[in-house]
Structure 1
């Protein structure tokens, strides 16, 4: 049976949202701390208790209401809203990078350098400690 025949089949709605999020049952199971068989059972259930539904919604990154109100038609309408031809084909939305990627690269390099220096210092201290133990015998 499809979700069209059973519009309140929560398990199928969860399954569809999971698929749209490009998530496997195993990934959802890991996020919930359970196994894939439990997710399969959930997706085959017509109803789910609210506490469990809240956990699933959080793991999927959606609200409980989004799961309860999910419909294939709504998804299609949502994506069709991006392709209506009422305006120009390309509209600049003002999205731009708020940081300089080269600055981030330099920061990363400097952090790695500091970590390497700490590692070298720790190794020097370890060698000195072992030499003192050997001299003490």
Structure 2
């Protein structure tokens, strides 16, 4: 005989909406604009604080977030990550948001800039030395002319 245990925890739908929105890198204002009702940022904030969200509103938010209403009602973190990574669909002109931050090898850039600075510094130092020699030569010439 097998026993099936039901998850007794109460799922707070507003928190689920907030978590899904953050996981996708969407701001409250952008999520509101993605919904047909064009919710304000304040309205999304209010919705995210609710335990149970009205069904029509929940449907709009689910579509905007690329998940089903059932997914929100039965939310768990593992399902959320899988669904977002594998099943997110951008049909019907839904907004695709990607937090694109490419990684560059900054060490080579810094090294080349440092080499350029050292080269420029060397050139300027040499120019100062040359000018110092010219000034010394001119001072010697002036001294000779005064002595004569």
Q: Structure 1 length normalisation: TM-score?
A: 0.48
Give the greater-gyration-radius structure (CA).
Answer: 2
